[in-house]
Structure 1
Amino acid sequence: MALSAKLQFRQTQSLVMTPQLLQSIRLLQYSHLELQAFVDTEMERNPLLAYSSGDRAAGSEAGAEIGAKPSVAALSDCGRPEQPAKSGAGGSEPAAIRTRTASGGGSGRAHSGDGEFRIEEIAERRPSLHAHALAEVADAIPPGPRRKIAEAMVEHLDESGYLRLTLPQIASDLSIKPELAERVLAHLQAEATPAGLFARDLSECLAIQLKRQDRYDPVVAMVLDHLDLLARRDFAELRRLTGEDDSGLMDILTEIRGLDPKPGHAFDHDGFEAIVPDVIVTESAEGGWRVELNPDALPRVLVDNDYLRIVREGVRTDDDRAFLGECQQSANWLVRSLDQRAKTILKVASEIVRRQDGFLTRGVGGLKPMTLMSVAEAIGMHESTVSRVTSTKYIATPRGTFEMRFFFTVAIASADGGDAHSAESVKHRIKILIDAESAGKVMSDDDIAAVLKKEGVDLARRTVAKYREALGIPSSIQRRREMNARRLAS
């Protein structure tokens, strides 16, 4: 059989992710801060983009930065957009992204667009842990090499106020003797406030505080060395180690409970950001719930058509004309994409609120099982789109602010063949049962499973144990020991 070269035409279909589509997907899953950073970057690259005149402080600042528009001659020197649209933007473009209401009448939450605020809304800011620790070092240690060592230790404090780098490591980094680092640390632990700052672990933190109160003795030291036994309420072993009776151990336990295990938490920490909800749910005056987008989480961007007209009149070269067209296409695409993103978030949030009306009216006990697939089918979207929308997005409700993913829980079958139960509502019911326990009536996991089954929740004992551990609730044995300890201490 002879081999020969041939030319053949074939027609195939394939799914292609264009750069424009890929960027739209990224926009959809961006959090509020990530989206704001992306828009700010695009506005620096594209001179045709501007914040709407009604935007808030962030928009005003950005507008000030881009207020001086580049001249026609400087247009060709501007960086080109990273993802320009490949086709022209047909039709009229929305002037800005606006808040859209999902459900009927009633007055929603009022948002002033003029940037005004009330003086009572400004809280006094606490000093940062870093600044406070440096001030304590300056008060405790005079200027010199020892203060430099102490300041280096400040840099290794964690949020709880603990020193998380070992002394040999600090000594090695600073090229000093470990004994000198030990002396400096001991001085800081004895002088710094609040007591417990610069401790290396929980036991040392509590010991520092008890020493300041002149309540540190060998018996207390033995208890602090065996905090694991104290946590398990294993008083039999503690009695053997310390020689104390139950009354003495209860006194020590009472003192330890009055201490601060995390002294650094009294201060502000850099890097914490307040959660800005993407959607706000309020009770409608006509009944039901009003769902609206939070204007503070929406970068309101528009295409500066006045500037575009001025620049277009002065364009002389083909390169400038081509670049201006790319900037216009990119700007129109971004405005459309932001508007579509807002519509998609609102559509998903409205469906979540419709399905979880029981949670909004009755709390966690009214939470219903819900999956991404069920929401996607109800609103006519793909499951992956709903997944991106609910990632790192938050809903502010009358019951608090929750991540959208919170409302998606697995279904637990009903024992009597009725509607399925949400896993979160079952966890809530387990917590209520345990909170209602008394000293002589501590429920085991089997007991809890039996009670739930009578209430129509078909749950195995091992699943009860898994949910209990997820809630951070100890076993029935540990809870019984804790109640006995409280009884002896009272």
Structure 2
Amino acid sequence: MALAPRLEIRQGQSLVMTPQLQQAIKLLQLSNIELSNFVEQELEKNPLLDRDERADIPDMAAESADRERADASGDTGADSGGDPSGDAGGDAGGDDGFSDADAGQLSLNDASPASEMDSGFEDMYPDDTGSDRTGAAGAEGDATPAALGGSDWSASGGSGAGGAAPDGDLDLESRLTRDQTLHEFLTEQLDVSVFDPAKRLIGRFLIDCVDDAGYLRFEDGIDGLADIADRLGVALEDVEGMLTVMQGFEPTGVMARSLKECMALQLAEQDRLDPAMQCFLDNLELVARRDLAQLCKLCGVDEEDIRDMIAEIRALDPRPGLTFGGETAAPVVPDVFVRAAQGGGWTVELNTETLPRVLVNQQYYATVSGATQNKDDKLYLSDCLQSANWLVKSLDQRARTILKVSREIVRQQDGFFAHGVSHLRPLNLKTIADAIDMHESTVSRVTSNKFMATSRGVFELKYFFTSAISSTDGGDAHSAEAVRHRIRELIDSESPKKILSDDKIVEMLKLSGIDIARRTVAKYREAMNIPSSVERRRQKKLSA
């Protein structure tokens, strides 16, 4: 067959990932903090986007609920987002377990998205949200609110807008002060203890190598004290001398290079670092294994002395630097609230404080575009308007999808919310995706980095997805998380004189109707950081 160039016409289908669709997918998997940072960047780049700083957002939940119930013509099972499948709403105490107040969660005042932006959205979201209503720009409505800015996404009717704090809550002192950090405290001690400029330079370099726990950690290619001496052009003896001086700083144990050295510094200050204690510190791994016999042999003391040494070690501070202020860990902010509804069932609400509130300024666009004659400027404004409208719709769809997935999770795991972890059911992404008519990948993105606040604590959405463990009697399968909880309960309630082995736990679980292998029990136990039966026996014997 001769090889020659030729023209062919072929017809096929393919998914084109437009920049707008990529943005929508990206927004879906962002956490609330990442989403807030992304919206801030868009506000800086796009002149047509404004932050909605209104303190009073109109409560449109009740009005929207009445309108949607009238449109549904009595279909109380319709989703508050307009889901025709009818699996996300319901009367209080009904079969689905949701209160009637849920119908008011998704009242919207959407922006006016361009029709050409809708293509490509259907792949990720079902077209059931009714978010294509347009709002004309007028004298009072010239700034089109984003779906999250002009809406109340909570059944409780709160505005969720972050306004100015009342005068009584304005605490300037707490805003203008902060705790002293460990590095600042060490620097103060260095300045009053060392006056040689060269030694101070060494000391400041060593302080920069101290982590929040107070340990000396070498990074950026630094191998040790010798490498520091080479970098600073000083003798190794000077660096070691400065380290010895600074290891006498407060808090005691700071500037140590290992846990053993940290404890040795604290014991030396208490005049308790004798040869037996030093040998004890050199064999801390035996302490972790509760091997008292070997410790007695190495340290040359009896078992009572070893117990006293362990008591002294427990009184020490293994992380002396943590007594000082550092970077405050940001608390987990839930994306969804689940509350018990009056009359039974559960109310699922989005946390409005985590939803960005932005406006598309239609009046500014009309004014500027009308006064602009340059073709490139008009094209730029048109792109900004399209990008702003698309962002509004993406935020709207993201919030709707999170709420829809969360409600289905609550429906599937109703036993957990009512009775606890032991009633957690096996659940996978496909079950949720089929129930709400979405793709598994969409559900996976929604459940990543999203948290749900319940009466039993705050859980990541992925926590509710667990594998199934078969039942011995052929009944319903058990959730792996529920089985792990059961294993922990058995171990916590075991008698010090009768420690449960993994084989014994398997027998007890099978009596409860759980068909599980011994290696699975061992895997779950290790994942929960529970020691083996031998180590638990030593531990309880030591603490007896």
* TM norm. shorter chain > 0.5: yes
Partner of 1:35: 35
Question: How far has the Cα of 1:151 moved from its partner?
Answer: 1.5
The match for 1:368 is 425
- 1:87 maps to what in 2? 116
Find the counterpart in structure 1 of residue 244 from structure 2.
Answer: 186
Confirm whether residue 116 of structure 1 aligns to residue 116 of structure 2.
no
Equivalent position of 2:69 in the other structure = none
CA distance in structure 1 between the aligned counterparts of 2:505 and 2:170, rounded to whole angstroms: 47
My pick for the range that moved more, 272-281 or 382-391, is: 272-281
CA pair 483-45 structure 1, distance change in 2 beyond 3 A: same
- 1:319 pairs with 2:376: yes
Report if aligned partners of 2:337, 2:453 keep a CA contact under 8 Å in 1. Answer: yes
Alpha-carbon distance in 2 for matches of 1:410, 1:12: 38
Matching of residue 464 in structure 1 with residue 513 in structure 2: no
- Name structure 1 gaps, 5 residues minimum: 57-83
Flag structure 2 segments of 5+ consecutive residues without an equivalent.
57-112, 119-131, 136-143, 219-223
Q: Give the TM-score, by structure 1 length.
A: 0.86
Judging changes above 3 Å, is the alpha-carbon distance between structure 1 residues 239 and 296 closer, same or farther for their aligned structure 2 residues?
same
Deviations 1:141-180 (A, max 9, x none): 3462222212211211223211112322322332222221
2:535 aligned residue (465, 478, 481):
478
**Residue of structure 1 equivalent to 2:397:** 340
2-structure distance, mates of 1:344, 1:288: 21
Give, in whole Å, the separation in 2 of the partners of 1:230 and 1:244: 14
Q: 1:428 aligns to what SS in structure 2? A: helix
Task: Tell me whether 1:53 sits opposite 2:53 in the alignment.
Answer: yes
Judged with a 3 Å threshold, the aligned counterparts in structure 2 of structure 1 residues 368 and 2 are, in CA distance, closer, same or farther, namely: closer
Q: Is the counterpart of residue 248 in structure 1 residue 302 in structure 2?
A: no
CA distance in structure 2 between the aligned counterparts of 1:302 and 1:353, rounded to whole angstroms:
32
Name the aligned partner's letter for residue 442 of structure 2: T
Amino acid at match of 1:12: G
CA distance in 2, matches of 1:362, 1:133: 51
Q: Does structure 1 retain, via aligned residues, the 8 Å contact 2:259–2:318?
A: yes
Give, in whole Å, the separation in 2 of the partners of 1:390 and 1:131: 41
Q: Say if 2:55 and 2:161, in contact at 8 Å, map to a contact too.
A: no
2:472 equivalent in structure 1: 415
Amino acid aligned to 2:214: G
Q: Is the 8 A contact 2:478 2:514 kept in 1?
A: yes
Q: How many aligned residue pairs are there?
A: 456
2:435 equivalent to 1:378: yes
Q: Does residue 305 in structure 1 map to residue 362 in structure 2?
A: yes
Q: CA RMSD in A?
A: 2.7
Asked if structure 1 preserves the Cα contact closer than 8 Å seen for 2:225 and 2:236, the reply is yes
Which runs of structure 2 are paired with 1:225-264 in the superposition (5 Å)? Answer: 225-264=282-321
Task: Give secondary structure in 1 for the equivalent of 2:273.
Answer: coil
Deviation at 1:365, TM superposition (A): 2.1
**Distance verdict in 2 for CA 1:48–1:216, change over 3 Å:** same
Asked if 2 retains the 8 angstrom alpha-carbon contact of 1:365 and 1:428, the reply is yes
Change over 3 Å in CA distance of 1:444–1:125 after alignment to 2 = farther
SS of 2:145's equivalent in the other structure is coil
Rounded to whole Å, the distance in 2 between the matches of 1:397 and 1:139 is 52
Q: Who is 1:21 aligned against?
A: 21
- Classify the secondary structure of the residue corresponding to 1:116: coil
For 1:398-429, what per-residue CA distance to the aligned partner results, in whole angstroms no more than 9, with x for missing partners? 22222211111111111222221111121111
How has the CA–CA distance of structure 1 residues 168 and 55 changed in structure 2, closer, same or farther, with 3 Å as cutoff?
farther
CA distance in 1, matches of 2:152, 2:4: 64
- Percent sequence identity over matched residues? 48
Deviation at 1:332, TM superposition (A): 0.7
Letter matched to residue 181 of structure 1: V
Structure 2 Cα separation of the partners of residues 149 and 345 of structure 1: 53
Mean Cα displacement is larger for which, 227-236 or 134-143? 134-143
Cα drift, residue 232 of structure 1: 0.5
* 2:35 alignment partner, SS class: helix
| Aligned residues of 1:161 and 1:199 also touching (Cα < 8 A) | yes
User: Which residue identity lines up with residue 242 of structure 2 in the other structure?
Assistant: V
User: Kindly tell me: are residues 466 and 18 of structure 1, through their superposed partners in 2, closer, same or farther at Cα, counting changes over 3 Å?
Assistant: same
1:140-179 matched pairs, under 5 angstroms: 140-142=193-195, 144-165=197-218, 166-179=224-237
